[in-house]
Chain A
Amino acid sequence: MNDAPHATTQQETPVYFESDGEVLFGLVTRPVGESTGIGFLTLSGGAVPFSSGRNDMSVHICRRLAAMGHTTIRFDYHGAGDSTGIVDRVELGVTHLQDTLAAVDVLRDHGAKQIVLSGACGGARNALAAAKSVPELHSLVLFSLPLRDHERAHSRAHRRAAREWSLWQYVKRALRPKTWKGFFDRRLRRVYLAFAKEKIRAVRRGEKAEASAETSGGVTSPIVQEDLIQLIRRRVPILLVYGTEDDYYKDFVLDQDERLGRILERGSDVVQVKVVPGKVHSFHTLALQEELRGMIFDWLDPAKDERPGGEAVRADAG
């Protein structure tokens, strides 16, 4: 933990709460000083599915935010950490939806008037899925949001494209002005290179493209698209963060010319996209962890007002 003020276990209370017949375990961190009325829920992803998070990242975030006056909760989904239950199959945004909403209730019970949902990978999908059931939503902070539904999510985007796009489709995409613009961005160049290399390999192996319904309408799940549309209509600020090495970022880039791109363009006054070098998905370096934590702190620091449309969602706005 760095030198910035943070809460300690003195502000923390272990809690049990029910979700769909299981008992979930969590830790609520109360504000150190006066409460802002904002409740922050951090949702873990599948790689480190327990409340402390990788390298105790969730602990650091919750304690620092509590020092800023926010109430926070970190908890274990059913079948993970200290909670009861068992999960045989994970469906993004479905399996842990009730758990997420139950944790929101705990925040309400602890006095939160507005709710921030934050998550990484699968946790980001849980946050997005839960958002429609949280009327007092303050904002969302989503790290490496998977855009596809689960069955398709784990196949690398560039490999999938190599399998599914014809050479002509590659050329067509390469000739788009947006792609040309992207060549001036070092990070995007690397993404394009990965796509090109994989296709060259596929051609050398004599593989022919298999037609896919995804290639025409984009790869983003319709559920994700609808959830984003609803949030943009509600003017809920969203921070989307990707790493250049995230597979999900490749999907994100891929769909900028599709419906997702148009949705985000329409919501550009409430959606902020940040792209950082490396792999956000697994939080795999300390430097990256610090940078991502900093994004959350800035997002929820009233003095910095990082959020697009931030004026409309201040805790004291009513």
Chain B
Amino acid sequence: MTERNAVETPAVSRLDARSGVTESARFLGSGTDRIYAYQYLPASQRGSAVVMCPAILGDFASNYRREVVGSRALAARGFAVTRFHYRGAGNSDGSVSDLSFDSMVEDAMTAADALVAAAGVDDVSFLGTRFGSLVAAAATRARAARAVAMWEPMADARSYFREMNRSRMMHEVSGGERQGATFDDLAADLRANGAADLLGYTLGRPLFETALDRTLLGELGDHTADVLLVQFNLRKGIDKSRQALADALRAGGCTVDLQAVQGVELWGLHAEGWTPIESRTDVQSLLQITADWFSRRAEGDAA
């Protein structure tokens, strides 16, 4: 999509009788370059909308249901919500060679436009998960949005790629396959082959190169917003790095609410045993914090 284009094909919709929320799935855009989007429209709206910017690679899968139940929870509180898949990922068109940081931000903007058109609201906020937080930050600035929430955000893309590569190294070494490849090896692999294998997930060179030097602070730039940072971890308390991120955002003029959710699962890793996402206390806590934060903001605006 060279220009932002919220042209929609007919959607398939259903009304959830319990919540009164209408859910619909659709493709945005035209031709063979379309974005898969999923919208949640409550019967009684607050006049605010939330665009969820998903995680990528392994996080995309492990966080998927959390984003679905999170969207439903927000819609049940009166917010119009949309989730979408970046072009080159999931059910959208394209391949990893089409996926870049810029295209991801463009997709978030397209999803926002479509939601505004469907819900008839102007007040749009973003919610980013993991790597999606960087996209949400960029979209927040581009749209001059007043609020952005982030689940387990990455302060910068380089750290994210390093972390993913470390997981790969540990897996390879523990499996006795070979000595784990370093971060420089990863970069060289991407230059040589155009893509790299991160534990069965394809990282494409365009994304790596366009995102590598992005930071959360840089993407927000001089734009000030209300920011919710939710750290989701096994330990109690706030990590120093997250505290530093919150402090830096405050220094830039943002209002920051930093919260921690003590969970049973780290992103991308599976704990022993299994409990449905909806029944997990850590997820319930995460959704409560998020929905309360967006609700307080909306009520503040209304007052």
Docked Cα-Cα span, A213 to B202, in Å, equals 44
Instruction: Decide if B200 is an interface residue (CB 8 Å cutoff).
Output: yes
- B93 and A81 within 8 A (CB): no
- A59 and B200 within 8 A (CB): no
Which interface class (under 10, 10 to 19, 20 to 34, 35 or more) fits B?
35 or more
- B200 and A25 within 8 A (CB): no
* Interface bits A7-27 vs B (CB < 8 Å: 1, else 0): 011101111100000010101
Docked Cα-Cα span, A292 to B65, in Å, equals 26
Instruction: Decide if A1 is an interface residue (CB 8 Å cutoff).
Output: yes
Q: Which residues of chain B come closer than 8 Å to A25, judged between CB atoms?
A: 25
Known A-B contacts A8-B93, A52-B90; the reply to A87 vs B26 at CB < 8 A is no
B40 to chain A, nearest CB (A): 11
B62 to chain A, nearest CB (A): 8
- A56 and B90 within 8 A (CB): yes
B18 to chain A, nearest CB (A): 9
Docked Cα-Cα span, A50 to B68, in Å, equals 11
Docked Cα-Cα span, A56 to B86, in Å, equals 12
- Which of A8, A27, A79, A287 is most buried by chain B, counting CB atoms within 10 A of its CB? A8
Q: Which residues of chain B come closer than 8 Å to A14, judged between CB atoms?
A: 11-12, 25-26
- B12 and A289 within 8 A (CB): no
- A13 and B12 within 8 A (CB): yes
Partner of A55, one of B11, B34, B200: B200
- B12 and A16 within 8 A (CB): yes
Instruction: Decide if B300 is an interface residue (CB 8 Å cutoff).
Output: no
- B89 and A50 within 8 A (CB): no
- A50 and B61 within 8 A (CB): yes
Partner of B202, one of A12, A55, A59, A288: A55
Q: Which residues of chain B come closer than 8 Å to A87, judged between CB atoms?
A: 276
Stretch of A99-107, A123-131, A277-285, A295-303 with 4 or more beta carbons under 8 angstroms from chain B: A277-285
Docked Cα-Cα span, A284 to B85, in Å, equals 22
B182 to chain A, nearest CB (A): 19
Residue of B nearest to A283 (CB): B200
Instruction: Decide if A286 is an interface residue (CB 8 Å cutoff).
Output: yes
B178 to chain A, nearest CB (A): 12
Instruction: Decide if A54 is an interface residue (CB 8 Å cutoff).
Output: yes
Instruction: Decide if A223 is an interface residue (CB 8 Å cutoff).
Output: no
Q: Which residues of chain A come closer than 8 Å to B274, judged between CB atoms?
A: 46, 90
Instruction: Decide if B241 is an interface residue (CB 8 Å cutoff).
Output: no
- A9 and B92 within 8 A (CB): yes
Instruction: Decide if A175 is an interface residue (CB 8 Å cutoff).
Output: no
Docked Cα-Cα span, A315 to B176, in Å, equals 45
Q: Which residues of chain A come closer than 8 Å to B16, judged between CB atoms?
A: 84
Instruction: Decide if A48 is an interface residue (CB 8 Å cutoff).
Output: yes
Q: Which residues of chain B come closer than 8 Å to A86, judged between CB atoms?
A: 276, 278-279
* Interface bits B261-287 vs A (CB < 8 Å: 1, else 0): 000000000100010101100000000
Chain A residues with CB under 8 Å of chain B are: 1, 8-10, 12-16, 23, 25, 27, 46-48, 50-52, 54-56, 59, 79-82, 84, 86-88, 90, 282-289
Given A55-B202, A286-B195, 6 other A-B residues pairs in contact with their CB atoms under 8 A: A15-B12, A47-B270, A50-B64, A82-B23, A82-B38, A282-B200
